[in-house]
Amino acid sequence: MWISSLVVTLPSDSKRALAITESLRAIAVITLGEARGVRLPVVIEASDGVTSRYWYQWIESLPGVQHVELAFVSFDESDEALKIDSDGAPSPLAVGCGMPGLFVGEEEAK
Amino acid sequence: MSANATTSRRNFLKSAAMAAASALAADSVFGEAVNPVPPGGNELPVLPNVTWDKAPCRFCGTGCHVMVGVQDGKVVAVTGDRQAEVNKGLLCVKGYHVGMVLYGADRLKTPLLRKNGELVPISWDEAIAVIAERIHTAPQKFAIYGSGQWTIPEGYAANKFIKGGLSNNHIDPNARLCMASAVTGYISTFGVDEPYNCYDDLDHCDTLLLWGNNFAEMHPVLFSRVVDRRLRGESIELIDLTTRHTRTSQQANHVLVMQPQSDLAIANCIAHQLIERNAWDREFVEGFCNFRGPGTPASLKGEPITFEQYRAEVSQYTIERTSEISGLSPQQLTLLADRFADKSRKVLSLWCMGVNQHTQGTAMNNLLHAIHLLSGHFGRPGDGPQSLTGQPSACGTVREVGTLAHALPGGLRVDDEKGRQIAEENWKLPAGRINPQPGYHTVLMWEKFCSPSDTEGALDTLWVQVTNPGQSLPNLHKLFNRKADLDGKFLIVSDVYPTATTELADLILPSAMWVEKNGIFGNSERRTQQWYRMVSPPGEARDDCWQMIAVAHKLFELNHEGMKDRDGNFLFTQRDESGSEIPLWEWEHYYDINIDERLYEEYRQFTRIKHKDLAPYPVLAKARGLRWPVVELQDGTWKETRYRFVEGTDPYVEPAKRFQFYHSVTGDDRALIWFRPYVVPPEVPDEEFPFWLDTGRVLEHWHTGTMTMRIPQLQKAMPTAYVEINRDDASELGIRNGDAVKLITRRGELTLPAWIDGRASCPPGHLFVPFFDEKLLVNQLTLEAHCPFSKEPDYKKCAARIERVTL
Ligand code: SF4
């Protein structure tokens, strides 16, 4: 399971912003947060990195979207792609985006 | 994991993800006084048994800082460092994943020697002895090919070993391929290398003019500073002067698509317009500049010219003629001239590989400085010309340490007697030890290595560290692959993973990387950044610097005179507090002291010569990097410099001077305004090869992809190279998206998938291929023609043909 979050910058025109918000709300794997002005937090749940990226690019391509910033990426141990080290590298290796307190390892999830 | 645990984990991750995005949505990261870092920096997450320490990101020249979380001897987490001015906690997609770069499954863990065509494991003792023996037998046939990813102490040790120990100057770095033109541009304009300004300009400019620079993908965190300003409601105009539409173009107010190489004409046209309109800054120019022409024949030094001569030269670049050369409309050229003519705006020019990887790279650098000096758009925050680098320590290790074939540390040169004397004194060498003849620059070095041993000046043993020339050199068939057919050649490669270069290696040395060793980098804005070793390297991998010192000591044991200083001591002798020599060449003792600190402090004495003073190691260890010159204040604190040559910020500018170019070429504290003409590139499209071929990088991968292609997330995001082609060209050739196509140049051919209107888009007649993919080596096709002064090759333009592959 891949969980990532983004900040989508909406257009200042409220009608267009609403249209984008509604498009996003219609997608089951996307959860919307509370917008701060034109900046809308969004969480994507996807089965793998490729699907996650597909949604990222789809959002980016929506007419009127000004900018998309990645805020958080995490991925699950069960993902084949993570079998990266024969020496027992940490898995999952959690990576955050530079905002405070966002590191997720197996221990915290329990 | 049970179903309940899975659900709870997913919910936990979702809420963490939402918290991250909400925090980011609420914050304006680069804004002033927004989201201040709490005293003590308690922004790090509390994770059980995880310790955190700072390091610069391993990848690009931006020099973002990360905080690295370590648990049980492994890197388990990475976050952007909020205390770092460069990135204020942000990272790009490569930076998020930088911790994983240590843990690729195929890390090299033991030395491998090719015996009867097979690579077989050997001991370190044998590996070191084999290298020392080769060098001892023919020291002048030996060369080192290094890197802008070497740490400063690594590069310094290699430089001292070969120039001070072997009296051989055949050392050059991969940075020759990416920023050598910026070096010659700065030196010929200001008399000393490296930008006078810094990233703060991004926070202050009104117009950001990108010269052939896909800023959004290549320096994404710096680009965020610009986007962030816009999100805060500031008006910042972005002008993208480019040969193809990129992600940067998507954010630009004006996208000016020019013909390759026409940047020379455009810059001259701007200068002509400034003079025609009487909009040049007479006071600044008369006070602080001289004029210079290329000379006959054109040279790096050129010859003095008057303003009237300069005016006559640039007057050839009328709007009409420049429009013909560049393909820009008269309105677009006028727009550029308008911005430089307007002194109320702050104009920042940025460039990177588009300008540097250019057969007229030095000239183009000269011209960018010229239009800023002529217009007076210089010296205020946000108002000036600035080059960016691609590698994390191209500035620190290459430009400052002087790991180039002609250079010595601190901006000194081997062909200058005084420079040699200073180096010999600092290194305690007998007088005359350093060879006055510059060594081979990169292209020549590989030509000489790929020539039969009995050829004049041929090299037989080449040691590559921290780089992958088997993928990144231009015209690979000529400059690299030929080695396979030659007898007597011995290629040594120190690296962390198998690469296109190790394919032909005779000896492979497994190296430690990034936080597996102590290190110091120097980024694009003169910022020197230190970190400590945090985890152990895998298997028998060892530090590159140790490898160099161990070989030096083996030569010392073989009684090689060059490995002794003038008192007969080993060149790299270090002593403990009791005065006993520490056997650094024995791995078990290498970390008995912090050798990085010792080498850095030895190197630091060179840095004051050209006013590039670095901070003492303990000061650096506490900072998130400091921009040189760093000087000590009366109260004992250390102060960095944001703007050189500018009174009030540069401690070396004398009072009441306003601007002082104190290393001026002309010795009168003035910078040079150069005229350099437009020159047709050495290879242009024709009937047989009708397309321009451009190569470069993509957001997800760093350089040859040896690290980022081993990070599953990045590999999956961008798994293969492709050729970007214009939609109309594709339809005319019957090419559809994803079709296999054959790309052919005079030097080779390559089959790869076509991408039409993908992430970026090319104008008609133009193709683009990224070079990160080791399975699709586009540099088999590129041209090794290079700038006559910087010797930097042009990867951005050669002639190509494209054909659909019929299966
Ligand atoms: S912009 Fe460069 S230095 Fe910064 S995180 Fe990305 S790759 Fe690393």
Query: Which residue's CA is minimally distant from atom 8 of ligand 1?
Result: B95
Pick B13's closest partner by Cβ from A79, A104, A107.
Answer: A104
Ligand 1: centre distance to CA B403 (Å): 24
What is the pLDDT at residue B505? 98
Pick A71's closest partner by Cβ from B20, B44, B75.
Answer: B20
- Tell whether B148 and B201 lie within a shared domain: no
- Tell whether B99 and B153 lie within a shared domain: no
Residue B23: give its domain's CATH number: 2.20.25.90
Task: With beta carbons less than 8 A apart as the criterion, state whether B750 and B742 touch.
Answer: yes
- Tell whether B411 and B520 lie within a shared domain: yes
pLDDT band at A75 (very low <50, low <70, confident <90, very high): low
Give the global pTM.
0.88
Residues of B with Cβ-Cβ distance to A7 under 8 angstroms: 21, 24-25
User: φ and ψ at B509, to 5 degrees?
Assistant: -115, 125
Give all strands (DSSP E) within chain A, no chain letters. Answer: 2-9, 30-32, 39-46, 67-75, 94-96
Quick check: A89 pLDDT over 50?
Answer: no
Query: Which residue's CA is minimally distant from atom 4 of ligand 1?
Result: B64
- Tell whether B81 and B203 lie within a shared domain: no
- Tell whether B192 and B340 lie within a shared domain: yes
Better-scored residue on pLDDT, B299 or A1: B299
Residues of A with Cβ-Cβ distance to B14 under 8 angstroms: 3, 31, 43, 45
pLDDT band at A88 (very low <50, low <70, confident <90, very high): very low
Residue of chain B minimizing CA distance to A102: B16
Report if residue B631 sits inside a domain.
no
Based on the structure, what is the number of domains in chain B?
A: 4
Residue B425: give its domain's CATH number: 3.40.50.740
Task: With beta carbons less than 8 A apart as the criterion, state whether B740 and B704 touch.
Answer: no
Q: How far is B714 from chain A (nearest CA, A)?
A: 9
For residue B390, indicate whether it is catalytic: yes
Residue A61: give its domain's CATH number: 3.30.70.920
Based on the structure, what is the number of domains in chain A?
A: 1
For residue B465, indicate whether it is catalytic: no
Report if residue B675 sits inside a domain.
no
Nearest ligand 1 atom to alpha carbon B222: 1
Kindly name the residue from B67, B269, B352, B353 that is annotated as catalytic.
B353
Kindly name the residue from B54, B94, B163, B554 that is annotated as catalytic.
B94
Report if residue B676 sits inside a domain.
no
CB spacing of B25 vs A33 below 8 angstroms = yes
Better-scored residue on pLDDT, B161 or B39: B161
Distance, in Å, from the CA atom of A53 to the CA atom of B759, rounded to the nearest integer, reads: 13
pLDDT in tens, B769-797: 999 999 999 999 999 999 999 999 999 99
Distance, in Å, from the CA atom of B763 to the CA atom of B328, rounded to the nearest integer, reads: 13
Burial B356-375 (b: 16+ CB within 10 A, else e): bbbbbbbbbbbbbbbbbbbb
pLDDT in tens, B510-540: 999 999 999 999 999 999 999 999 999 999 9
Size of interface A-B (CB pairs under 8 A): 191
Distance, in Å, from the CA atom of B244 to the CA atom of B259, rounded to the nearest integer, reads: 9
Average pLDDT on B5-14 reads 66
What is the pLDDT at residue B7? 62
What is the pLDDT at residue B751? 96
Quick check: B166 pLDDT over 60?
Answer: yes
What is the pLDDT at residue B662? 97
Ligand 1: centre distance to CA B221 (Å): 7
Going from the C-alpha of B451 to that of each of B45, B456, B458, B462, B591, the distances in angstroms are 56, 9, 6, 13, 40
Burial B134-173 (b: 16+ CB within 10 A, else e): bbbeebebbbbbbbbbbbbbbbbbbbbbbbbbbbbbbbbb
Ligand 1: centre distance to CA B688 (Å): 40
- Tell whether B162 and B248 lie within a shared domain: no
Distance, in Å, from the CA atom of B595 to the CA atom of B397, rounded to the nearest integer, reads: 16
CB spacing of B105 vs A39 below 8 angstroms = no
pLDDT in tens, B171-217: 999 999 999 999 999 999 999 999 999 999 999 999 999 999 999 88
What is the pLDDT at residue B519? 98
For residue B660, indicate whether it is catalytic: no
Residue of chain B minimizing CA distance to A1: B10
Ligand 1: centre distance to CA B531 (Å): 16
- Tell whether B218 and B360 lie within a shared domain: yes
Residues within a 6 A CB radius of ligand 1: B 57, 59-60, 62-64, 87, 91-92, 94-95, 219-221
Q: How far is A62 from chain B (nearest CA, A)?
A: 13
Average pLDDT on B243-263 reads 94
Chain B contacts in chain A segment 10-29 (CB below 8 A): none
What is the pLDDT at residue B104? 93
Residues of B with Cβ-Cβ distance to A31 under 8 angstroms: 14, 18
Q: Which of B51, B75, B79 to mutate to test the interface with A (most CBs of A within 10 A)?
A: B79
Q: Which of B2, B18, B47, B698 to mutate to test the interface with A (most CBs of A within 10 A)?
A: B18
Domain span at residue A19 reads 2-109
- Tell whether B19 and B168 lie within a shared domain: no
CB spacing of B22 vs A41 below 8 angstroms = yes
- Tell whether B140 and B198 lie within a shared domain: no
Report if residue B806 sits inside a domain.
no
For residue B391, indicate whether it is catalytic: yes
pLDDT in tens, B101-131: 999 999 999 999 999 999 999 999 999 999 9
What is the pLDDT at residue B28? 52
B717 touches chain A (CB under 8 A): yes
Residues of A with Cβ-Cβ distance to B23 under 8 angstroms: 71, 99-100
- Tell whether B450 and B555 lie within a shared domain: yes
Domain span at residue B421 reads 112-172+393-607
Side-chain-facing half-sphere of B409: CA atoms under 13 Å: 34
Distance, in Å, from the CA atom of B455 to the CA atom of B488, rounded to the nearest integer, reads: 12
B558 touches chain A (CB under 8 A): no
Kindly name the residue from B179, B205, B352, B395 that is annotated as catalytic.
B179
Residue percentage of chain B with pLDDT more than 90 = 85
Which of these three, B586, B607, B628, is where a domain ends? B607
Quick check: B362 pLDDT over 90?
Answer: yes
Report if residue B495 sits inside a domain.
yes
Task: With beta carbons less than 8 A apart as the criterion, state whether B614 and B640 touch.
Answer: no
Distance, in Å, from the CA atom of B609 to the CA atom of B807, rounded to the nearest integer, reads: 63
Quick check: B559 pLDDT over 50?
Answer: yes
A32 touches chain B (CB under 8 A): no
A7 touches chain B (CB under 8 A): yes
For residue B94, indicate whether it is catalytic: yes
Q: How far is A59 from chain B (nearest CA, A)?
A: 14
What DSSP assignment string belongs to B518-587? -EEEE-TTSEEEEE---SPPSTT-B-HHHHHHHHHHHHHHTT-GGGB-TTS-BTT--B-TTSPBP-TTSH
Which of these three, B53, B71, B103, is where a domain ends? B103
Chain A contacts in chain B segment 26-65 (CB below 8 A): 26-27, 43-48, 50
Side-chain-facing half-sphere of B170: CA atoms under 13 Å: 26
Task: With beta carbons less than 8 A apart as the criterion, state whether B62 and B86 touch.
Answer: yes
What is the pLDDT at residue A74? 67
pLDDT in tens, B642-689: 999 999 999 999 999 999 999 999 999 999 999 999 999 999 999 999
pLDDT in tens, B467-492: 999 999 999 999 999 999 999 999 99
Distance, in Å, from the CA atom of B358 to the CA atom of B208, rounded to the nearest integer, reads: 22
Instruction: List the single range of A18-22, B93-97, B382-386 with lowest mean pLDDT.
Output: B93-97
Average pLDDT on B132-144 reads 97
Quick check: A103 pLDDT over 60?
Answer: no
Q: Among B30, B92, B718, say which to mutate for ligand 1: greatest number of ligand atoms within 8 Å of CB.
A: B92
Q: Which of B7, B10, B11, B22 to mutate to test the interface with A (most CBs of A within 10 A)?
A: B22
Report if residue B402 sits inside a domain.
yes
Strands B798-804 and B254-257: unpaired
- Tell whether B409 and B506 lie within a shared domain: yes
Pick A97's closest partner by Cβ from B20, B71, B104.
Answer: B20
What is the pLDDT at residue A105? 28
B335 touches chain A (CB under 8 A): no
pLDDT in tens, B605-652: 999 999 999 999 999 999 999 999 999 999 999 999 999 999 999 999
Report if residue B540 sits inside a domain.
yes
Average pLDDT on B304-312 reads 98
pLDDT in tens, B30-60: 554 333 343 334 456 666 788 889 999 999 9
Quick check: B3 pLDDT over 50?
Answer: yes
- Tell whether B569 and B697 lie within a shared domain: no
Nearest ligand 1 atom to alpha carbon B220: 1
Residue B743: give its domain's CATH number: 2.40.40.20
User: φ and ψ at B636, to 5 degrees?
Assistant: 90, -5
Residue B265: give its domain's CATH number: 3.40.228.10
B90 touches chain A (CB under 8 A): yes
Which of these three, B103, B122, B150, is where a domain ends? B103
Pick A33's closest partner by Cβ from B5, B22, B713.
Answer: B22
CB spacing of A93 vs B710 below 8 angstroms = no
Centre a 10 Å sphere on the Cβ of residue B548 and count the other Cβ atoms it contains.
27
How does the average pLDDT of chain B come out, rounded? Answer: 93
CB spacing of B103 vs A93 below 8 angstroms = yes
B805 touches chain A (CB under 8 A): no
pLDDT band at B262 (very low <50, low <70, confident <90, very high): very high
What is the pLDDT at residue B9? 62
A72 touches chain B (CB under 8 A): yes
Q: How far is B745 from chain A (nearest CA, A)?
A: 33
Instruction: List the single range of B86-95, B324-333, B425-434, B746-755 with lowest mean pLDDT.
Output: B86-95
Tokens of A35: 């917008």
Distance, in Å, from the CA atom of B27 to the CA atom of B621, rounded to the nearest integer, reads: 29
What is the pLDDT at residue B26? 66
Distance, in Å, from the CA atom of A94 to the CA atom of A104, rounded to the nearest integer, reads: 5
